[in-house]
Amino acid sequence: MEYFDIDDPKIKRRIIVENGLAFAFPTNIPIVPGHTLICPRRRVSRIDGLTDEELNAVFELQKRLRGAMIKVFGAEGFNYAWNEGKIAGQNVDHLHLHMLPRKRFDTGIVDYEPRKFLYRPGDRSSSPEQELAEVAMSIRKGL
């Protein structure tokens, strides 16, 4: 098992909070002030590579950071994201949760439209209920 080196001086001095299985630090290329990465200590590239305990540790830090970011940055909302696989924008082969405190007049994506954000341009009408039922059935069969 490979673990992230939190003793790396570049990371160590930026660590905000940690627990036994995860740690958080501000990214060096923030979208907004306070843009933080929450990482499991063990190196995995996909979320399904985490144990339940590791996943809970990541989300425990997210909950702890949320209140602080509201106080410090006046956050009125948050964006959370992680990428899995190169095709989805994963540039670092170590899963990490991006946490961005957001407030009015921020830069970046503020008029959030999921289809635009996920690279699906153009309008699309709602899918017919039958089509949605078939998709749900297909996925259930895959479980």
Instruction: Say if CB 22 and CB 58 are below 8 A apart.
Output: yes
Answer yes or no: 35 catalytic: no
Catalytic position from the list 35, 94, 96, 98: 96
Q: How far apart are CA 6 and CA 14, in angstroms?
A: 10
What are residue 17's phi and psi, to 5 degrees?
A: -155, 150
Query: Between the CA atoms of 107, 55, 57 and 76, what dihedral angle is there, to the nearest 10 degrees?
Result: 30
Residue type, 9: P
Residues noted as catalytic: 96
